[in-house]
Amino acid sequence: MTRIAVVEGDGIGHEVIPVASAILETLHPEYEYFSVDVGFHRWEVTGCPCADRDIAELKTADAILFGAITTPPMKDYQSVVLRLRKSLDLYANLRPVKGNGFDIMIVRENTEGLYSGIEEISPDRATTLRVVTRTGTERIVRCALRLAHKRKGKITVGHKANVLKSDVLFRDICLAEAQAAGISCNEKYIDALALDILQHPASYDVVVTTNIFGDILSDMASYLVGGLGLIPSANIGDRYALFEPVHGSAPDIAGKDIANPIAALRSAAMLLAYCSDHTGSDRIEAAVQAVLARGIRTRDLGGSAGTREFGEAVLLALQQGE
């Protein structure tokens, strides 16, 4: 039996994840769903945002539907997201940005770079070690190349090798792997790439880059489709997979029933595709498009629908086969 872990997390995760999980349960009532409670709110109550037993429970799932997590700027607070990525070795972060005339897949290295977690903090200095390894780079670019092979057959490597020696290693490995695979590859400095994606999105297919660059690049690219409320992501490893909206926990709007659940719904669609149900994945996207076509939108898209109202409309469209 397919087992799906559902993690609402913090903030608006408690609103958008129930919408997405309801859709999954409608399409696959035969799946086994179970909840795992981690996040800042858990830390406030217990002093531990994510315990070893939570990691062990998540490892029993075939896939994880994950909400947003609040990470406070406290030096003694361990990021739940970073811990999960490392504990489950979710090295590939896939962030699709698809709109009118363009379809970009941003492939972000997910376990190294400036999010290495290796830091020193003193009253007068804070140091974060940026880690780029051959092993980490080879496996992320090979993931990007596999995707490119199924798509348009080209990748773009985003880097800052003119300044960072660690990016020289990243760039050179990516170019060598692409050449060996026979995949068309070009490279751009990350700042120039960011601008060009906004100006000419149709020129790009698969973009591979390091951790923090991929984080920023995908958030920026969300502008092309209407904002962070619409962008899903997949965190993929060799054994485990976690699917989450790109947006954060948005505590300023939490509990107000105004958050856009589309990113969570599209994350659920990516989860189904990972579980080999491509038809179900396509049905979710078709239902979302049908609801938008009827003019039903949340406030961030200029509408007045609440989170639950939008979710109910998508569920109805799904049931009616729209």
Q: Which of 181, 201, 230 is where one domain is finished?
A: 230
Residue given tokens 């020289």 in the structure block:
168
Are residue 128 and residue 163 in the same domain, yes or no? yes
Rg (the chain; Cα; Å): 19
Are residue 172 and residue 259 in the same domain, yes or no? no
Query: 108 phi and psi, to 5 degrees?
Result: -110, 125
- Residue that wins the pLDDT comparison between 72 and 307: 307
**222 pLDDT higher than 90:** yes
Among 59, 191, 223, 282, which one carries the catalytic annotation?
191
Q: Which of 209, 230, 251 is where one domain is finished?
A: 230
Quick check: is 103 catalytic? Answer: no
Query: 285 phi and psi, to 5 degrees?
Result: -65, -40
217 touches 187 (CB < 8 A): no
Quick check: is 215 catalytic? Answer: yes
Are residue 223 and residue 115 in the same domain, yes or no? yes
State the total domains in the chain: 2
CATH number assigned to the domain comprising residue 173: 3.40.718.10
Are residue 201 and residue 99 in the same domain, yes or no? yes
Quick check: is 238 catalytic? Answer: no
Among 10, 215, 240, 274, which one carries the catalytic annotation?
215
**132 pLDDT higher than 80:** yes
Please give the pLDDT value at position 82.
85
What band does 311 get if pLDDT is binned at 50, 70 and 90?
Answer: very high
Please give the pLDDT value at position 78.
80
60 touches 29 (CB < 8 A): no
CA 50-52-57 angle, 5° bins: 90
Are residue 215 and residue 103 in the same domain, yes or no? yes
* HSE value, Cβ hemisphere, 13 Å, CA-based, for 316: 10
For residues 278 and 301, what is the distance between their CA atoms, to the nearest angstrom? 27
Among 37, 103, 196, 219, which one carries the catalytic annotation?
219
For residues 254 and 233, what is the distance between their CA atoms, to the nearest angstrom? 21
Are residue 248 and residue 299 in the same domain, yes or no? yes
For residues 185 and 190, what is the distance between their CA atoms, to the nearest angstrom? 15
- Residue that wins the pLDDT comparison between 174 and 1: 174
Among 91, 160, 205, 274, which one carries the catalytic annotation?
160
Among 115, 204, 240, 274, which one carries the catalytic annotation?
115
Length of the chain: 322
Are residue 86 and residue 113 in the same domain, yes or no? no
When pLDDT is averaged across residues 77-93 and rounded to a whole number, the result is 91
Please give the pLDDT value at position 322.
59
Please give the pLDDT value at position 10.
95
Are residue 202 and residue 255 in the same domain, yes or no? no
When pLDDT is averaged across residues 214-225 and rounded to a whole number, the result is 96
The secondary structure element, H or E, covering residue 103 is strand 102-109
Q: Residues 252-270: pLDDT tens digits?
A: 999 999 999 999 999 999 9
**116 pLDDT higher than 90:** no
Residue given tokens 């909400």 in the structure block:
67
When pLDDT is averaged across residues 205-228 and rounded to a whole number, the result is 96
104 touches 197 (CB < 8 A): yes
Q: Supply the pTM of this predicted model.
A: 0.94
Are residue 171 and residue 157 in the same domain, yes or no? yes
Are residue 215 and residue 100 in the same domain, yes or no? yes
Are residue 147 and residue 258 in the same domain, yes or no? no
For residues 204 and 144, what is the distance between their CA atoms, to the nearest angstrom? 13
For residues 113 and 212, what is the distance between their CA atoms, to the nearest angstrom? 7
**87 pLDDT higher than 80:** yes
Domain that holds residue 175: 94-230
243 touches 271 (CB < 8 A): yes
Q: Which of 180, 199, 230 is where one domain is finished?
A: 230
For residues 173 and 231, what is the distance between their CA atoms, to the nearest angstrom? 29
When pLDDT is averaged across residues 146-168 and rounded to a whole number, the result is 96
Are residue 98 and residue 226 in the same domain, yes or no? yes
232 touches 87 (CB < 8 A): no
